[in-house]
Structure 1
Amino acid sequence: MTDDVQLSIGLPNFGTWPGGDWRGFLDVARAAEDAGIDRIVLVDHVVMGPHTDKYVWGRFPTPPEAEWPEPLTLLSAIAAVTSRVRLATGILIAPLRGAALLAKTAATLDQISGGRLDLGVAVGWQREEYDAAGLDWDRRGQLLTDTIAACKALWTQTPAAFKSETVNFTDTYLMPKPVQPGGVPLWIGGTLNKRNLARIVESGDGWIPIMGLSTADMGRDVATIRQALADAGRDPAALRVQGPVPMVKGEDGKFDLARTLEGAPEVIAAGATALQLPIQAFCAGPADAPAFFADARRHLDAVLGR
């Protein structure tokens, strides 16, 4: 059903796009809501090491000294000036926060926003962040698995108890709980390997495919996840998927929004429930954002016949 598909816009909470005024991000978020955008997505790095050349998905978008505000803090400010648009991370490096602190922070933000938070999580790619946090880089996968499962326990149990290799607690109270039933939705990011599939089945509500995955491969992986959910007794139709729309350039060599969104039906057919676009590919800065949001909403509705 295309009526259920959300238009999801990635906002660059890093580098120079905001023009040095992070308070201006609130105006951008308000403009997104006014234009009928369904979700806004921020990304995460806690600290940066010098070796951005180790980023394997192309050229890293900033130098290591670039500004990069913490996404949950910025989303809290955005929550205060909006009322409808969903607030998402895509992704948050969950193990860097620790389970109890992350559960508390996310639950508070869900309360403040009236139940609008989607928490996209993954392990990240940079060892230096784990070193700075005093965490074992080689155990990052286990840390992610345990962190998100522990968050689920804290959000849904009163008192909560959880036991794993890296997180353990009993008779523990976390209040307030998130507004959303079952806790904040967890969207697991990354390649659909065996461990990520297990995380989705055990604790996840959605999946964020790894950057660069083709639409056809995304569709194959969505089918795999749905089958695994069904095998585990969970509803496969409830799976949420953040699907990037393949970018298309026009004759001038610039990314063409209308042509790009013509590919939306194929991404939806592959299983996407939230169509993802990066705003910085189409407008140079915050001043251009209101027009971009309006055009994106209009073009997508036209393509989908809405």
Structure 2
Amino acid sequence: MCQTFWRQTRAQYESPELRFENLHMMPKPLRPEGVPIWVGGSINPRVVTRLARFGTGWIPWGPDAADLARAIPRMRAALREAGRDPSDLQVVGRPALHHHADGTLDIARTMADVPPLLAAGGVTDVRLNVRVPEDESAALEHLSAITARFRATVSDHLSELPSSHP
């Protein structure tokens, strides 16, 4: 239903539960296809159906998140079976967070888990849930260090790929 509002100037919609016509929503999203919708879950019929109908990206959970190299091809196959072309599927990968003895983030060890995620084939987004210092300058310093190490790690990974890789 949200996609109807995003795409139509004067929206109309009908389902067994809801019916409306000549409604509008402004402002429209900048992207003509609307706001990206990320669907989280393990590979099961309900998640596959939601992702096939509405999803831009998949946030794997549980065993699927732990074994992306096997889960991504399985999800792509399930989407194909559901009638969706999986070629544009975006997938989240989450490296394990490693900490020093004092509890601070060990950025180098954490980033060492990024290349295997990228090598899984299909991870398009890497997300870290890190604590950010309350002090603005400390937060900027912390996030800048993480970002710099992430960029270097991804750059190193890309430079090691065969030249025929897209």
Interval containing the TM-score (normalised by the shorter chain): 0.7 to 0.9
- Is residue 146 of structure 2 the alignment partner of residue 296 of structure 1? yes
Task: Specify the alignment match of 2:10 in structure 1.
Answer: 159
Structure 2 letter corresponding to 1:269: A
1:266 equivalenced with 2:116 (yes/no): yes
Which of residues 90, 94, 105 in structure 2 aligns to 1:244? 94
Q: What residue is the counterpart of 2:56 in the other structure?
A: 205
Q: CA separation in 1, counterparts of 2:94 and 2:142? A: 17
Q: Which residue is 1:255 aligned to?
A: 105
Contact 1:189 1:209 in 2 (8 A): yes
- SS of 2:92's partner is strand
Cα distance in 2 for partners of 1:211, 1:292 equals: 29
The Cα of 1:187 is off from its aligned counterpart by 0.7
Written as runs of structure 1 = structure 2, the 5 A alignment for 1:134-153 is: 150-153=1-4
Query: Contact 1:215–1:267 (CA<8 Å) still a contact in 2?
Result: no
Residue 30 (structure 2) pairs with residue 179 (structure 1): yes
> Structure 1 regions of 5+ residues with no counterpart?
1-149
Aligned residue type for 1:162 = Y
**Offset, 1:212:** 7.8
SS at match of 1:296: helix
Across the aligned residues of Structure 1 and Structure 2, the Cα RMSD in angstroms comes to 2.5
Report if aligned partners of 1:249, 1:255 keep a CA contact under 8 Å in 2: yes
Cα distance change, pair 157–220 in 1 and its aligned pair in 2 (3 A): farther
Q: 269, 273, 276: which one pairs with 2:127? A: 276
Gaps of 5+ in 2: 157-166
The amino acid that maps onto 1:156 is R
Aligned-pair identity in percent equals 34
Are the equivalent residues in 2 in contact too, given 1:241–1:273 (CA < 8 A)? yes
Name the count of aligned residue pairs: 154
Describe the shift of the 1:234–1:194 C-alpha distance in structure 2 as closer, same or farther (beyond 3 A): closer
In structure 2, the partner of 1:126 is none
TM-score, length basis structure 2: 0.76
Distance 2:75 2:56 in 1: 11
Q: Secondary structure of the equivalent of 2:127?
A: strand
- In structure 1, how many angstroms separate the alpha carbons of the residues matched to 2:13 and 2:52? 18
Conservation of the 8 A alpha-carbon contact between 2:12 and 2:23: yes
State the distance in 1 between where 2:24 and 2:119 align.
Answer: 42
Partner Cα distance (2:83, 2:17) in 1: 27
